[in-house]
Amino acid sequence: MNKLLFTILIVISTGLMGSSFAIGKIGLNYVSPLLLVGLRFTIAGVLMSGVVILLKRIHPKRITDWIKILTVGFFQTTAVMGCIFLSIRTITAGESSILTFTNPLLVVILSTIFLGIRYRWIQWVGVLIGIVGVYITLGASLNIQQSGTLFGLGSAIAWAIATVLLKKWGSTFDTWVLTAYQMLFGGILLLVGSLLFEQVTFVLNSLSIFIILWLAIMASIIQFATWFFLLSKEDSAKVSSFLFLAPFFGVIFGWILLNEEIHLSTLAGGGFILIAIFLVNKRATKVKEVEYNK
């Protein structure tokens, strides 16, 4: 792929990832957290499901496969996104994005334990650097007892679990079908959670509608499509190494759109975490073959 095109698409994809934190925080002025993220992914899931049906992509035929997609949807969409949108009620969009994108560090640990993947020493150095970065960020600018901080860490844990599940089951499914239905199932679970666990609020105006559509179409469908296109055209390790840009954009959009103050501790801790994410996304080799459940 042309280097200029690659750079543009990387910036678009990671920029859209990062934008969702600040724009989502603005949306909380009009819509309750679980309802907002539930609408985002239900709309995105419905649209993408319609596309994969029209394109006649291969759909699972067994109940067990649909249960796997539902499980991925619970961790990847319901748990991750629910935690993110609950976190930004009490911490900044930039802080939430930094905590959420520590997930690659946790993936190294979980993949070593459960998938038998061997990582090189530089990737373990990345994990250690990332832990230092989290400690600096938490110790200097965040209160570990704040619910937002705990939800931010929870989103990273849930995302790491979802990544491990995708490593184990992903080859079983058409990528676009899996993405469409995990978003749909996860979004529906979030809507149910909204009805059960929060006081539902929805102020209907042009800005709230714009925010929901931006999150559903630009920050979900377009972002996923761009990322998958890059993965299909370039080496996956090379593409994934640029994931560190997403929390950077999360901080930048929080500063631009919300006038969030950028503390020195956030910059220092975030810097460590960005370096760590870059290091841990280097290519890994397996110790043994993993038997995927079909």
* pLDDT for the residue numbered 150: 87
Residue 5 lies in a domain: no
Using the 8-state DSSP alphabet, how is residue 289 labeled? -
- Cβ atoms < 10 Å from Cβ of 84: 28
Q: How far apart are CA 67 and CA 62, in angstroms?
A: 9
* Mean pLDDT along residues 144-171: 84
* pLDDT for the residue numbered 158: 94
Residue 15 lies in a domain: no
Q: What is the pTM of this model?
A: 0.83
Residues 6 or more apart whose CB falls under 8 angstroms from that of 202 comprise: 30, 31, 32, 35, 208
* pLDDT for the residue numbered 157: 92
In 3D space, the residue among 74, 241, 85, 247 whose CA is nearest the CA of residue 166 turns out to be 74
Phi, psi of 146 (to 5 degrees): -70, 140
Residue 210 lies in a domain: yes
User: 37-73: per-residue pLDDT in tens?
Assistant: 999 999 999 999 999 999 999 999 999 999 999 999 9
Token pair 């609950």 is at which residue? 86
Residue 4 lies in a domain: no
* pLDDT for the residue numbered 40: 96
* Mean pLDDT along residues 113-126: 79
- Check the CA dihedral 198-204-210-216 and report its sign: positive
Residue 223 has pLDDT above 60, yes or no: yes
Chain-wide mean pLDDT for the chain?
Answer: 85
Joined together, the tokens standing for residue 196 give 């059960």
Residue 99 lies in a domain: yes
Residue 154 lies in a domain: yes
User: 205-216: per-residue pLDDT in tens?
Assistant: 999 999 999 999
Number of domains composing the chain = 1
Residue 3 lies in a domain: no
| Cβ 59 vs Cβ 179: under 8 Å | no
Using the 8-state DSSP alphabet, how is residue 214 labeled? I
Assign 285 to helix, strand or coil: strand
**Residue 284 binned pLDDT confidence (cut-offs 50, 70, 90):** very low
Burial of 100 (0-12, 13-18, 19+ CB in 10 A): buried
Give 94 or 258, the one with higher predicted confidence.
258
Q: How far apart are CA 97 and CA 18, in angstroms?
A: 7
Domain encompassing residue 178: 23-286
Residue 50 lies in a domain: yes
